[in-house]
Structure 1
Amino acid sequence: MENVPVRIALVDDQKLFRGGMKMILADRSDFEVVFEAKNGKQFFERLAFEPVDVVILDVEMPEMDGIETLERLRSTHDNIRVIMLTMHDSDRLISHLMELGANGFLLKDEDPDVVCEAVERVAAEGIFFRDYVSKALLKKSRNKMNSDNLIKPRISDREMEVLQLICKEFTSKEIAEKLFISYRTVEGHRRSLQEKTGSRNIVGLVMYAVQNGLV
């Protein structure tokens, strides 16, 4: 039985850029570009009839930009994974997008292999971080007010191992192999970590770890 391809939507106001991105993704038999849209408004109109798994979403667009689209997605379709696209690697922008619930972040001049890796990892594990994303989150954590007086959850040694590997972009399968435990056990630790830290997803876990100096 063949695997079902990852269903993708491309949302960018530049038709030429969408065409180039579609060509990159078309090289993968496990990816399917279901539709394209030039802004958030058009995207939601198409989404009502054509469900997708992953959205590659430009930040700057007319008629509902990427930030507004991401916010609405998180309130209406939280299961859809979102990779944000931009020309600028601003620390402030990156940290803001991650706080809003983006699953990944790509610059528009990334290599094609990086784009495909991002889609693959976001679809499978819900997260894809480049070095500049981690640096942006770390910088923000250093600028935050000291929170040592807050009560922090008790995280076991094994949970800490799992959390640190998640932050290094290991998949659950890879973590299981590295720690010599089952995939189900890894998923159990991940769910426990999310409950303890109040994180909705893996992105939230990574942000918690960075902002609390755990990685």
Structure 2
Amino acid sequence: MIRVVLADDEAMVRAGIAAILGSDPGIEVAAQAGTGREAVDQVARHRPDIAVLDIQMPELDGLTAAAEIKRLRPETGVVMLTTFGEDAYIERALSLGANGFLVKSGDPTELIAGIRAVADGAAFLSPRVAKRVIDQLPRSNSGARDRISVLTPRETEVLALLGSGLSNADIAARVHIVEGTVKAHVSAILGRLGVRNRVQAAILAYQAGLVQSLD
């Protein structure tokens, strides 16, 4: 069971998202919050697998709340909710360690897929968000290629699969190794590349030419 804390300052939006998540028998909304401060408190109290945070909230905005949650409980995945056009927040959210980025107006199945992907250890960007991120990246980046040159061939292979959006379990099946070994490779990759999370690693994989898209 994937346990979620959901935070949005609009009660009707919050109720709608909770209903969507509740339609999946494998997801439980453990608590809801209407402010960023409440979100941090609820995460500390319920210790969820995932915190779903609106960007615009009173007391603490979603980005500040995300930073506090990652500091207090790094193992909780953070998924940011955004409305179309808030591109300025994407880079900051990723730099703070957000594991996923979803558009509120997206398909409900995308929301569930994103929660499941982050719970499984993968990064998840809404296709609309991913396209906007990718459109801002250089198609060829020698600096990125230099950075990944420190990786072993196996780590480079894992990074390419990670950048394609695969979970640890999917990567393990693809390269015929156990999931624990994949986790060890991912941890080593993040450390060697000096990135904080899988989303940042996936973007670097794209910049280095290892993958064609982050969808």
Normalised-by-shorter TM-score class: 0.7 to 0.9
Is the radius of gyration larger for structure 1 or structure 2?
1
1:93 partner letter: Y
Match of 2:75 among 79, 99, 120: 79
Cα offsets for 1:19-72 (capped at 9, x unmatched) = 111111111221111111111112233334322111110001122111111122
Contact 1:10 1:35 in 2 (8 A): yes
Q: Show the counterpart of 1:101.
A: 97
Match of 2:62 among 61, 66, 75: 66
Per the TM alignment, residue 212 of structure 1 is displaced from its structure 2 partner at its CA by 4.0
Q: Which runs of 4+ in 1 moved over 4 A?
A: 145-153
Shift of residue 142 of structure 1? 2.8
Name the CA shift for 1:174/1:17 in 2 (closer, same or farther; >3 Å): same
5+ residue gaps in structure 2?
none
Q: Which residue does the alignment assign to 2:29?
A: 33
Equivalences, count: 211
1:165 aligns with 2:161: yes
When the two structures are superposed, what TM-score results if normalisation uses the length of structure 1? 0.85
1:128 aligns with 2:103: no
Cα distance in 2 between the residues matched to 1:107 and 1:44: 21
CA distance in 2, matches of 1:114, 1:139: 21
Deviation at residue 100 of structure 1 after TM alignment: 1.4
Q: 1:179 — aligned with what?
A: 175
In 2: Cα distance, 1:191 partner to 1:181 partner: 16
Give the root-mean-square deviation of aligned CA atoms.
2.6
Asked if 1 retains the 8 angstrom alpha-carbon contact of 2:122 and 2:168, the reply is no
Q: Could you say if the C-alpha distance between residues 53 and 185 of structure 1 is closer, same or farther in structure 2, counting changes exceeding 3 Å?
A: closer
Question: Structure 1, residues 72-118: CA drift from partner, whole Å, max 9, x if none?
Answer: 22222221111111112444322221111111011111111111111
> Matched residues in 2 for 1:122 and 1:34: separation?
17
Q: Aligned equivalents of 2:104 and 2:122: distance in 1? A: 20
The 1-side partners of 2:147 and 2:45 are apart by: 45
Q: Normalising by the residue count of structure 2, what TM-score does the alignment of the two structures yield?
A: 0.85
Matched position secondary structure for 1:142 = coil
Gaps of 5+ in 1: none
Partner residue in 2 for 1:208? 204
- Alpha-carbon distance between aligned partners in 2 of 1:197 and 1:155, rounded to the nearest angstrom: 8
Distance 2:55 2:102 in 1: 11
Query: What residue is the counterpart of 2:15 in the other structure?
Result: 19
Q: Which stretch shifts more, 132-141 or 118-127?
A: 132-141
- Residues 95 and 196 in structure 2, CA contact (< 8 A), matched pair in contact too: no
State the distance in 1 between where 2:121 and 2:21 align: 19
| Contact map agreement 2:21 2:27 (CA 8 A) in 1 | yes
1:191 matched to 2:187 = yes
152-161 or 102-111, larger mean C-alpha shift: 152-161
- Say which is worse superposed, 85-94 or 107-116, in terms of deviation: 85-94
User: 1:115 aligned to 2:106?
Assistant: no
CA distance in structure 1 between the partners assigned to 2:144 and 2:30 by the alignment: 47
Percent of aligned pairs with the same amino acid: 30
